[in-house]
Amino acid sequence: MMPVSTHDEASRQDYVLALKTHVARQMTPGNKVEMTHRVVPAFRKAHGREPASRQELRAAMERAPHHQVWGSLMRLGQELMWESVEDTVDRQLEVLEAKARKVDKGRGSVTIPKGFKPPRYIEAVDVHTMPGGYCDDTGDQDLRAGAIYDRGAFMYHHGKRGMDDNGRLIVSFVRTRYPDLKPRLILDMGCSVDHATTALVDFFPEAEVHAIDLSLPMVRYAHACAEAMGRPIHFKAANAEDTGYHDDYFDLVVSSNMMHETSLAAAPRIFTECRRILRDGGAICHMEVPVRYKDLSLYDQVMRGWQTYYNGEPFWNAVCALDLVAMVKAANFSDVADGYLKRTTAPDRDRRDLLQVGDQGNEYRYMLTARK
């Protein structure tokens, strides 16, 4: 199902990836140099003290030349990435839709409830600056947004299938933290195009795996991908705040990088819904980008918070500052734990507990777990 690039399209995409890599690796460190030697001294001279909050430091950094150039190129690279991917998808969209029908052997299923409409907080946003966002939908067979996201993730992750290793990390952690848990029914919330979902099928082969997302095109595309790979997954367009499943239904509920794209009003309702649909003894494992502002310096908060203002992530700052542990406890879960875990592509490994203090670089993920 992966959209295939022509020679010229691939060349353009390689250029964009090289640009993004250069900005990330070569230009990003200059922000800290500029902050240390220019921004903070100028702020200290003007105010008689150093910046006391993320907001103060960000306002000062926004006026710094290197930070401005860096931010402009970051945004440009993101826009060019989607533009180059759109060309590839639109050229073969009809072929992809025909493939989706051909590969559907009924191993799993896809359900679009009549009248389902995504909530405004996600429908109105071009998430990651992806034109049209996740929910741009033109008809019953439309899978364009899913195909664009999949090809963009393939490009962004240097030829890997998006964030497949996220699913493997969830599997590994659940197996080691809850060795007594033998899930028969699993739900993946916010599955997008099923990058993390497939690991649940591969490593819990006796379980029935369900996956939900707010985007209709992504659910359709994810179903086609799963069918093409021979994975029996049951997809549904649904809101994690109100999934539509029966009480006490699942043994395990997981998510991968969903919470930072969730509104502040929705977050507590999602945890309440998780508890409702879990059986007694069931577990949740929500994995997130490794950004918890309570564990970061002001500089790192500003750099990570760039997503909120310039990359279509309006809830990033707020969610990264939330006390998620308190929120899960308020939903009446027990054995609540959070921390950082090093990424892995090997789901079978020695026991590795949560790291209570860890490097929040890209080699780590934030894990939030609890039991009912």
* Residue range 2-39, pLDDT digits in tens: 899 999 999 999 999 999 999 999 999 999 999 999 99
Q: Residue 167: what are its φ and ψ, rounded to 5°?
A: -65, -40
| Percent of residues, the chain, with pLDDT higher than 70 | 92
Whether the predicted pLDDT of 359 surpasses 90: no
Q: Looking at the domain assignment, is residue 271 inside a domain?
A: yes
pLDDT per position as a tens digit, 256-309? 999 999 999 999 999 999 999 999 999 999 999 888 998 899 999 999 999 999
> What is the arithmetic mean of pLDDT over 94-113?
95
Query: Collapsing DSSP states into helix, strand and coil, what is residue 333?
Result: coil
CATH number at residue 315: 3.40.50.150
What's the pLDDT score for residue 345? 57
Task: Give the model's confidence band at 355: pLDDT under 50 very low, under 70 low, under 90 confident, else very high.
Answer: low
Give the alpha-carbon dihedral of 345, 229, 156, 85, to 10 degrees. 180
User: What distance in Å separates the CA atoms of residue 150 and residue 156, rounded to the nearest whole number?
Assistant: 10
What's the pLDDT score for residue 172? 86
Considering its fold, how many domains does the chain have in total? 2
**One domain for residues 79 and 176:** no
What's the pLDDT score for residue 104? 94
Structure tokens of 227?
A: 């069918």
Q: Looking at the domain assignment, is residue 147 inside a domain?
A: no
**One domain for residues 177 and 87:** no
pTM: 0.92
